[in-house]
Structure 1
Amino acid sequence: MTMTTNAPSSLNDWLIKLSSIEIPAMQYTLYQMAHLQSKSDDISIRDLSLLIRHDPLLTLKLIRYQQSQRRAVQMKDVNTIEHVLLMVGVGGFFHKFGSTESVETQLQQKPEALSGIRKIISRSYLAARIAESLSSQRHDIDPIEVTTASLLHDLAEILLWLSMPELAQKITYLLLNNPSCRSYEAQKQILGFTGNELQTKLALHWHLPSLLTHLMDEKYTNEPRVRTVTIATSTARHLTNHWQNPALPDDYQNIADLLSCDLDHAYSLIRNVCIKAAHEWEWFSVLPVATQIPQQ
């Protein structure tokens, strides 16, 4: 296993290190928050939730805050951004999170890390959009829960770029130089464990809602809702490499199996999601996946 000086030596040490990070938000998210705050008398919970759902870091920050404020009499987990905002309130949200630091400020001396984290956050948003589309076609009991789980699925990777970007870069280089290497294999080689293992431990350590933790755990892919999250995040990951990624045909087949549709429909669904997501490229300063779509 390749390690870097001062890197945590065990999974427990990683939990301690990542739990000590001050969670930032994307600068564009903060710009949009300031814009909404300037007309706070005219905005709704939905307006605010649509903003937050672009940013997995702010989503994490909001959910962790709600969990820390949870009262003993609250028997049911709150699993979506909108439900958390209903409890916090619009005014309470701006009061608590209005002074959040930006990712760009935290990484201003590390341009490669900033570029890396923007790509992962953009990918997480695309995964959430794919999950939303799959859930809608499946007539899921609550598509927003699945969408939120997909947005948060790769938080461990995002936090790695924040805290130890040199290790994140080693994983990236390993994957680039070994096309047949899978992400979990590269993570295990560099870190000693997979991102999903760290993600699951973090979710438990932070007392994130049990349903979200379950939906993000790839051990339960026999369940359709967990499989939706896994397929959405896998497809988004493969798309961000390039549209001809050799793993994508398996993703389309998994989508076809999940939705009981043909491969053409699965491909069209992903293509349409990517085109819609491309309209929001400014949020992440990342070239949209849709620019790589091959001509029909």
Structure 2
Amino acid sequence: MLEQPLRDLAAWTAHLRHMTIPVLASTSEQLELWRSNEDAADAHLLGEILNKDPLMTLKLLAHAASQRSSRLLTDAETVTAALVLLGITPFFKAFGPQPTVEERLAGRPEALAGLQRVLLRAERAARFALGFAAHRADPDAEVIHSAALLHDFSEMLLWCEAPALALQIQQLQAAQPGLRSTAAQRQVLNIELGDLEQALMKAWHLPELLAQITNDKKARDPQVRCVMLAVRLARHTALGWENPAIPDDLAEIGELLTLSPAHALKLLHELDGTPG
């Protein structure tokens, strides 16, 4: 594991693009159950399992991109599309028993807790983003779900590969509540995680649409706004709905969905499964 920051974006990208990405133990266990009953598995059944795990989703989409034939006109932009592209038997051949984050961070409970917070946030952000996309009748709703799920994957990889540095960023922000996360990242890592994410997506040849929708620097695009606002809301509501930033989130979400803040809040509670 990395204990010291690498010098620049190129060094971070070169290191992380070759790392063995662990997945959730629950994902690994379910894959082994389906491996023993492969004939009963199909892309939709497996997709439901993998879509709950951002790290496994990332591994699968990167692998599908590496296998993409020049004859294919479209990229595999979702988990289900990647499974259909690969086929069930080749998928199980390519992905043997998976290493898990629980094993990797077994001796670092603080780091495991930090990673679990990011994974939970990603799952909620993906649910919000899918709801926004469905409300807007966006034909790329599934891709928007994948983009929100993967929006913070570089932070997930950091917790797995350099937990001491991830904890340093967390402690820095706790000590200075007004410090922006990008400033804390530059201070500790010499880079911003958003830039690392875009560099890794390019290195892995992930679908262009997915890279575009996860790029916060293209915030005027409605699909990017769907993801950005979903991620922001998931972050602000991680500990409850009392965060003072939430009224601003509601106003922007209402504008995106052409809803009043009150109707936007009602929709959000429905999506989150919380009482309104």
Q: Which runs of 4+ in 1 moved over 6 A?
A: none
Aligned to 2:199: 201
Q: CA deviation at 1:207?
A: 1.3
Q: For residues 84 and 5 of structure 1, do their structure 2 counterparts lie closer, same or farther at Cα, with a shift above 3 Å needed? A: closer
Aligned to 1:21: 19
Aligned to 1:281: none
Q: Which moved more, 1:195-204 or 1:135-144?
A: 195-204
Aligned to 1:100: 98
Aligned with 1:86: secondary structure?
Answer: helix
1:164 counterpart = 2:155 = no
**What one-letter code is carried by the residue in structure 1 that aligns with 2:243?**
N
Q: For residues 273 and 193 of structure 1, do their structure 2 counterparts lie closer, same or farther at Cα, with a shift above 3 Å needed? A: same
Q: CA deviation at 1:243?
A: 2.6
Aligned to 1:143: 141
Give, in whole Å, the separation in 2 of the partners of 1:5 and 1:64: 26
Aligned to 1:67: 65
TM-score by length of 2: 0.93
Q: For residues 96 and 102 of structure 1, do their structure 2 counterparts lie closer, same or farther at Cα, with a shift above 3 Å needed? A: same
Q: 2:175 aligns with which of 157, 174, 177?
A: 177
Give, in whole Å, the separation in 2 of the partners of 1:5 and 1:111: 17
Q: CA deviation at 1:241?
A: 4.3
1:266 counterpart = 2:235 = no
Give, in whole Å, the separation in 2 of the partners of 1:247 and 1:191: 27
Q: Deviations for 1:253-280, whole angstroms, at most 9, x for unmatched residues?
A: 11101001011122122222222xxxxx
1:221 counterpart = 2:219 = yes
Q: Which moved more, 1:187-196 or 1:19-28?
A: 187-196
Aligned with 2:243: secondary structure?
Answer: coil
CA RMSD of aligned residues (A): 1.8
Give, in whole Å, the separation in 2 of the partners of 1:26 and 1:50: 14
1:34 counterpart = 2:50 = no
**What one-letter code is carried by the residue in structure 1 that aligns with 2:162?**
M
Give, in whole Å, the separation in 2 of the partners of 1:28 and 1:251: 33
1:48 counterpart = 2:84 = no
Gaps of 5+ in 1: 276-289
**What one-letter code is carried by the residue in structure 2 that aligns with 1:244?**
E
Aligned to 2:153: 155
Q: Which moved more, 1:234-243 or 1:247-256?
A: 234-243
Aligned with 1:240: secondary structure?
Answer: coil
Give, in whole Å, the separation in 2 of the partners of 1:175 and 1:184: 10
**What one-letter code is carried by the residue in structure 1 that aligns with 2:63?**
Y
Instruction: Count residues in correspondence.
Output: 275
Q: Percent identity?
A: 35
Q: 2:6 aligns with which of 5, 8, 23?
A: 8
Aligned to 1:134: 132
